[in-house]
A and B are shown apart, each in its own frame.
Chain A
């Protein structure tokens, strides 16, 4: 079964850092671009970042550019999102998502269960 499992969320103070992980299973991870999408409590979905299958291309929403870093280790079958300089408005459930087809511009058909990040003092 194709699955994604996020981890690493938690409570962090404003200005702090956190690293999220996403562990895929059931498909050849290195063939797929991957994305992170977040959802603030009671709010809509917001695309955060994407990375190409080989890791050479990374893309960010303006709201996180310069503060978040997406990366992947295909040898460890893991996707990461490093969150720095966190703000209250970064509080959200963070989902990793896989596209329908390996091409980066494809829609997201596989989603993890999400990991909650809470930024508060």
Chain B
């Protein structure tokens, strides 16, 4: 049950696009199309932004998109806004358990 690997931090200016990667293994990310992404602001509970690799829950702006290739998933945020500054976590189903990434802090410059 090893954690997925994410960059510790990324940054971008308002209006730009950023991509956060999430690397797993043949047992999790590559094996299942159940990769999800969560946004967490300080002191708040996580919020689901993307599930099943590229599906957006109702209410999540279409500026957020997800993809996957092999054992690496990605979250892309286009048209960065100040309120996007937060921690982002990827998560993958791994067959009877789930594994999260270590988290990426997004800074909007």
Contact = CB atoms under 8 A, between A and B. Distances in A.
B73 interface: no
Interface stretch (A21-29, A66-74, A101-109): A101-109
Contacts, number: 62
B38 A113 contact: no
Interface residues of A, number: 23
B96 A59 contact: yes
A16 B91 CA distance: 30
Contacts of A114: 45
B84 interface: no
Contacts of A106: 34, 51-52
Given A61-B1, A106-B34, A47 B98 contact: yes
How large, as a class, is the contact surface on chain B? 20 to 34
Nearest to B51: A107
Given A108-B36, A111-B45, 18 more contacts: A35-B98, A37-B46, A44-B3, A44-B102, A45-B89, A46-B100, A47-B91, A47-B99, A50-B98, A61-B1, A62-B1, A100-B48, A100-B57, A107-B48, A107-B51, A107-B91, A108-B38, A111-B47
Interface of B: 1, 3, 32, 34, 36, 38, 40, 45-48, 51-52, 57, 89, 91, 93, 96-103
